[in-house]
Structure 1
Amino acid sequence: MDDDLSRPAKALATPSTQPARPRVTDYENGISAIDADYLRQGLAAIHLIVEGGKAALVDTGTSSSVAGVMEALRRKNLAPDDMTYVFVTHIHLDHAGGAGEFMHHFPNAKLVVHPRGARHMADPARLIASAMTVYGEAEFKRIYGAIRPVDANRIIEAPDGFSLDFNGRPLLFLDTPGHARHHYCIFDQQYRSFFTGDTFGISYREFDVDGMEFVFPTTTPVQFDPVALHASLDRLMSYNPSYAFLTHYGRIGNLPRHAIEMHDLIDAHVSIARKLQNHVPNRHAALVEKLGELLLQQVLAHSCKLPEEEIRNLLSLDVELNAQGLENWLEQTRAG
């Protein structure tokens, strides 16, 4: 299958024991992170950009994310008619599952999507079928709810180098494969910041220590490509960005340091996978164990003071998904 249609969530995230965080985090330059209500608080963010009374969203979460976003808009005195664009960095369901539902609520909005994902937004039948094979129908509906098609006339495809004027705010779209082949990142040229989806990895706010974030890569099924991901990271950094806004979760700075760490951790993931490629029949369990230990030790070296059990709980979903993705990558490289 050419397109990676869903980000499996077979291992549900364990709720954090940390104090509840604000559902909306406001940053400078009209940017806010709205909790997407996906599996646990603080796991996935929908970024709202406001410019001159007009609004845009970066990623949508699922259909259950709509209520929280609508409430955030009301609090900011924005109406559904003020939504101009809905951007989906890629079509994994935790990023784009709610796109059709949001477009139903935002009559003036256009959906901007990578060319490889556009047809699945207009006709999500394959996307739904792919996800249901992972979860079963009942669990799929519980996690993702309804997935509405988007009128093809309201879809804008954003190939590499596509530029868009959002109410006087120039945005540049870069093709950034490595996590998925249908992934773009958005460069906010005026404020020199990127909206990175999953390309710049994952950074949960619970791991922040004295203002320094912890970032690690996501190697989820089925299109992980380490060579492409290294190149995409280098391309993002060539723009000398000040901040990255990650779907998982929110704004991070210190990007030169984190880019080095990301490159190192991508290589560490690949090294673990290659060492275990002939470890059958328990390769998956071995990958989960080794990846879990790798990331635990990295978080502890980051001087995070959370109990080890809490750290493991926060990482458990991504360790499971990264192991699945590395197994798939091993099979693809062997077949190739």
Structure 2
Amino acid sequence: MQITKEVWQVGGDSLTAPEDAAIYLICFGEQAALIDAGTGKGHEKLISNIEKCGVNASQIEYLFITHCHYDHTGGAEKVREEFSCKIVVHELDAIYLEKGDSDVTAARWYGKVLEPLKVDHKITSFEESFLVGSRRIKSFHTPGHSPGSVVYLVESEDKKILFGQDVHGPLDPSILSNQEDYIKSLKFLLSLKIDILCEGHYGIFEGERNVQSFI
């Protein structure tokens, strides 16, 4: 599903596997990146969808993870093996991925055991910037749904596009959600004045008014 000429949705419940959160692809010039990896159950479909976008495996430099939950990270190792890309996760969520915590990552919700996942780059600050081809992608720490939840912001076709997976939770103590942090993060997201929101489970929202209403 094309969002702009440089941004696509390539995974999700109707595109790869029913359990998958949305997976997005960005391509700026000679380099590309994925946002989240789904559960891995629909990996072959994911590869096919990426190829249909005209992006080569060698172009994918990063897998940016929004948070540690299994429906976003279960397929991360398969993605890294397939594309030889770097996995990027906030340090507060990387802890649970690297030790294979099936409770905090919600893998048990899916009847799975999470295999430990090595993280290549740990985000350590509120805001970081990554060069993908000709463009910068910014990460912002937005805790609440999980301790290390982040959103990623890019510009494409003069539009501000936010990859804000699981903007509406859920909040659950078993996955270390924090309501106070969550409310602060939502207020920050509203301040960004986004043109397009690419969400994890509820679709894509276009137009600043629609984005603000959803948040």
* TM-score normalised by L of structure 1: 0.55
Shift, 1:252, TM fit:
0.5
Q: Quote the Cα distance in structure 2 between the aligned partners of 1:92 and 1:196.
A: 14
Tell me the residue number matched to 2:61: 84
Match of 2:150 among 180, 184, 196: 184
Q: What amino acid sits opposite 1:140 in the alignment?
A: K
Q: Which runs of 5+ in 2 are unaligned?
A: none
Shift, 1:57, TM fit:
0.6
Q: Which runs of 5+ in 1 are unaligned?
A: 1-24, 142-146, 202-216, 263-336
Shift, 1:98, TM fit:
1.0
Tell me the residue number matched to 1:286: none
Counterpart check, 1:247 vs 2:211 = no
Q: Quote the Cα distance in structure 2 between the aligned partners of 1:251 and 1:30.
A: 15
Q: Deviations over 1:155-176 (max 9, x none)?
A: 3435311111111211111111
Give 1 or 2: higher strand fraction: 2
Match of 1:116 among 92, 100, 108: 92
Give 1 or 2: higher helix fraction: 1
Q: Deviations over 1:255-285 (max 9, x none)?
A: 44553564xxxxxxxxxxxxxxxxxxxxxxx
Q: Quote the Cα distance in structure 2 between the aligned partners of 1:151 and 1:130.
A: 14
Tell me the residue number matched to 1:103: 80
* Distance of aligned partners of 1:52 and 1:250 in 2 relative to their CA distance in 1, 3 Å threshold: farther
Shift, 1:30, TM fit:
0.9
Q: Quote the Cα distance in structure 2 between the aligned partners of 1:224 and 1:114.
A: 15
Tell me the residue number matched to 2:112: 140
* Distance of aligned partners of 1:82 and 1:220 in 2 relative to their CA distance in 1, 3 Å threshold: same
> Looking at CA atoms only, which structure, 1 or 2, has the larger radius of gyration?
1
Q: Quote the Cα distance in structure 2 between the aligned partners of 1:75 and 1:29.
A: 13
What number of residue pairs does the alignment pair up?
Answer: 209
Tell me the residue number matched to 1:172: 138
* TM-score normalised by L of structure 2: 0.83
Shift, 1:182, TM fit:
1.4
Shift, 1:178, TM fit:
1.8
Q: Equivalent residue of 2:42, what SS?
A: helix
Q: Quote the Cα distance in structure 1 between the aligned partners of 2:109 and 2:199.
A: 25
Q: What percentage of aligned pairs have identical amino acids? A: 22
Q: Quote the Cα distance in structure 2 between the aligned partners of 1:116 and 1:79.
A: 32
Match of 2:171 among 213, 219, 226: 219
Shift, 1:71, TM fit:
0.4
Shift, 1:104, TM fit:
1.3
Q: Equivalent residue of 1:64, what SS?
A: coil
* Distance of aligned partners of 1:132 and 1:88 in 2 relative to their CA distance in 1, 3 Å threshold: closer
Shift, 1:53, TM fit:
3.3
Tell me the residue number matched to 1:28: 4
* Distance of aligned partners of 1:32 and 1:240 in 2 relative to their CA distance in 1, 3 Å threshold: same
Does the 8 Å contact 2:96/2:104 carry over to 1?
no
